[in-house]
Amino acid sequence: MRMKTGEAGPGSRRSLALLNGFRAFLPYYGLIAASVLLPLLIFAFAAWQNWRQLERLAEERGTRRAALVAEHALKVFQGNEQIIRRVDDRTRSLDWDGIVHSVDLHTFLKGLPAEVDSLEGVALIRPDGWLASTSTVFPAPPVDLSDRAYFQAVRNEPGRTHVSTIMEGHVSGQPFLRLARQRSNPEGIPDGVIVVSMAPDYFTRFYHTITRGEDAVTMARADGAVLIREPGITTGREILSPGSGFMQGIARTERGIYRTISELDRVERIHAYQRVGTYPVYVSYGISLHAVAREWRANLTTFGAVTGIASLALGLLSTLVLRRAQQERQMFTEYQAEVRRREEIEDRLRQAQKMEAVGQLTGGVAHDFNNLLTVVIGSLDMLRRRMDPDNARDARLITAAFEGAQRAAALTHRLLAFSRQQPLDPKPIDANKLVAGMAEMLRRTLSEELDIETVLAGGLWRTYADPNQLESAILNLAVNARDAMPDGGKLTIETANARLDETYAAAPQDVVPGSYVMISVSDTGTGMTPDVVGRVFEPFFTTKPVGKGTGLGLPQVYGFIKQSGGHVVVYSEPGQGTSVKLYLPRYHGNEGEAAPAPDRADEPVHSLNGETILVVEDDAMVRRFTVEALRHAGHCVLEAADGPAALDLLDRHPETALLFTDVVLAGLLNGRQVAEEALRRRPNLKVVFTTGYTRNAIVHQGRLDEGVEFLGKPFTAVSLCAKVRSVLER
């Protein structure tokens, strides 16, 4: 049977029906496709973005760590190069025969490694390459070092410090990294070589503390010679090829970033490198791309879960994308906060290291400096009291010298306070009485244009601190407030009870939660910007004109408060004034009278009974001044330069009533040990200690030991005799 023209058959009708059905469901097919393709596109984009972000964060972390490692290496190299200069200065007047046979020089060299942690040994090499002197063996063994690369390099490049590769020592057989520089003879002409040795372990121990996972730290010379590697997979003799990422990078810039497969362990890493000062040495911090990829894959797992859920229903797509965006934003915010927290910790670590270095320098010079100031101040004071009152010209000169010496003593005192190395004598304090007692003095001494107000809290707790140091801290703050109000203003000193909770203590402020007594000093002056507020406790930082401030007032306050277990905070805005709040821990001891006001007598206290006093002081000038001051006050004085001599005098003079001893003494016995032995022999003997700087003999945790009588250097004849009199009468 034939079909009529234009009539569709059954197959055609079915095809047409399928086509019409497909057209009808085309939007749904598109929605299904979109529910798959759109999440996949979002997934791919998010994965790409996350990878870029992880790479960028790895580069930033590597750059920070490379800078930290470079700074550490620079300090080590500079410290050891300073040792070379000291050895050069010490031996400049010696010929080589004198160097070879000098026991004093060997003793000097032997003591140097104790001063620098990284230093293992020092050696002097003759111009012909033979070992002349060393810190390890005396006399130096006959060793020919002319074949050493560092010897040849220094001989060919005078005036430069050469950094050697890792090599074994001829004498010790241990691997060392060496710095070498030419020695100068008395005419300043290069003559021989000075070498200092450093153990590679000193560097790798530090690197081990900052690396994590598959990270790697490399120290290499500009010629590609690998010096130090952590993890320690090298022998110290590897040479990086000219085509390595390290060599190509340092050929372009002194610091930068490159990505390469390491020639040392075949691990692909992102490396940040930086030159160590002006030395031909570079450090590189590498972060493994495998570790970055693992973190990325972990994130992809989360992204994949989101994609699978989004594929189930197109209607949930927007909700899931929004939720995921919120989660990512939260994760990124938390990550940024963690990065900032770590940067703050690293900044505080560097600041603490800088402050520790200043503190060590302060402690090292304070003892001798205070001894000198004791002689100067005491002698000037005695001379001023004895001179003819009609000699006005000489009186002015002596007074000027005395005031200058007192300012030097105050500067040393402030340095010790900042470094938290001053011996404190804490007592229970009623802060209201102390502030009220200072208010009238401040009104008399500060500018008349200032309106001084005290706001004293009722029921104020007591605190436990050194009253003299607390007075000094309040006075420092009041003087700063006066200087901030040159045209006058209002100075307010306020007291209050305060509780610092765990939420406040959790902030990076180094404070223990608990009960505190708060003393606030506020002014209506010019105020400070936030960047200035962030630096007010740095030593020698000041906004005052040259000659108007030392920059040690606020650091002294900070050091005292921290040493007392307290907390200090500054609030200030430009044009709105400044408020400094001191928080001192609440005292929970027995109720009683607060600390008495310090004795401010101006006249010497003379002996009533001519008591015998034994003075132990190893500094001859200080000893002479102390003995003369006590004899002038009517005492019978015995003197000794060290502990054994003092104990011998004590046995021969049973009438001795008081022992006055320096804490730091030359010889085997320090002042505390002399006092303990003296009290064992004479239990009723009175003891007074003195020192310009002490570590642990009579001071622990920044406070004087219980029952210790102490007179700090520098002191005058007045303060010395008053202290002795008060102890004898007690």
DSSP per position, 49-84: HHHHHHHHHHHHHHHHHHHHHHHHHHHHHHHHHHHH
How confident is the model over 82-104, as a mean pLDDT?
A: 88
Per-residue buried b or exposed e for 201-216, using 16+ beta carbons within 10 Å of the residue's own CB: eebbebbeeebeebbb
pLDDT over 70 for what percent of the chain? 72
Read off the pLDDT band of 510 (50, 70, 90): low
Q: Which domains does the chain have, with CATH numbers?
A: 70-292 (3.30.450.20), 431-585 (3.30.565.10)
Kindly report the backbone phi and psi dihedral angles of residue 585, in degrees, each rounded to the nearest multiple of 5, phi listed first.
-60, 145
Rounded to whole angstroms, how far apart are CA atoms 671 and 676?
9
For residues 264-288, average pLDDT? 89
Q: What is the mean pLDDT of residues 454-481?
A: 84
Average pLDDT over residues 154-168: 82
Q: Is the pLDDT of residue 449 over 80?
A: no
Asked if 585 and 499 touch (Cβ cutoff 8 Å), the reply is: no
pLDDT of residue 652: 92
pLDDT at position 7 is: 47
Please tell me the predicted confidence (pLDDT) of residue 722: 87
The tens digit of pLDDT for each residue in 644-669 reads 999 999 999 999 999 999 888 888 88
| pLDDT exceeds 50 at position 282 | yes
pLDDT category at 639 given cuts 50, 70, 90 is: very high
What pLDDT is recorded for position 342? 81
Structure tokens at 281: 């040495």
pLDDT band at 355 (very low <50, low <70, confident <90, very high): low
- Region 428-437 average pLDDT: 86
Q: What is the pLDDT of residue 694?
A: 55
Which of 104-118, 335-349, 402-416 shows the lowest mean pLDDT across its residues?
402-416
Confidence bin at 4 (pLDDT 50/70/90): very low
The average confidence (pLDDT) of the chain is 78
pLDDT band at 483 (very low <50, low <70, confident <90, very high): confident
| Residue 535, pLDDT above cutoff 90 | no
The lowest-confidence range among 322-326, 426-430, 480-484, 501-505 is 322-326
In percent, the amount of the chain with pLDDT more than 90 equals 11
Instruction: Kindly list the distances between the CA atom of residue 379 and the CA atoms of 324, 395, 657, 717, in Å, as whole numbers in the listed order.
Output: 79, 14, 25, 8
pLDDT at 357: 63
Q: Output the pLDDT for position 638.
A: 93
Q: Residue 266: which pLDDT band, with cuts at 50, 70 and 90? A: confident
Give the confidence band of 356 by pLDDT, cuts at 50, 70, 90: low
Q: How confident is the model at residue 498 (pLDDT cuts 50, 70, 90)?
A: confident
Checking if the pLDDT of 227 tops 70, the result is yes
Per-residue pLDDT averaged across 512-522, rounded? 87
Residue 419 in this model has a pLDDT that exceeds 60: no
Q: Is the pLDDT of residue 543 over 80?
A: no
- pLDDT beyond 90 at 571: no
Position 144 scores a pLDDT of 86
Least confident of 200-209, 294-303, 574-583: 294-303
Beta partners for residue 616, in sequence order: 640, 661
**More confident of the two residues 378 and 355:** 378
The reported pLDDT for the residue numbered 484 is 80
In the block, residue with structure tokens 């797992």: 301
Predicted confidence (pLDDT) per residue in 5-38, tens digit: 444 455 555 565 455 544 544 454 555 566 667 7
Q: Is the pLDDT of residue 592 over 60?
A: no
Average pLDDT over residues 417-433: 69
Distance (Å, whole) CA 258 – CA 249 = 7
Determine the average pLDDT of the residues in 314-331.
Answer: 60
pLDDT in tens, 47-61: 888 888 888 988 898
Residue 569, strand partner residues: 581
- pTM score > 0.85 for this model? no
- For position 594, what pLDDT does the model report? 45
- pLDDT for residue 446: 75
CA–CA dist 730, 719 (Å, integer): 16
Beta bridge partners, 494, equal: 455, 520
Average pLDDT over residues 63-70: 91
How many residues are present in the chain? 730
How many CB atoms lie under 10 A from the CB of residue 231?
15
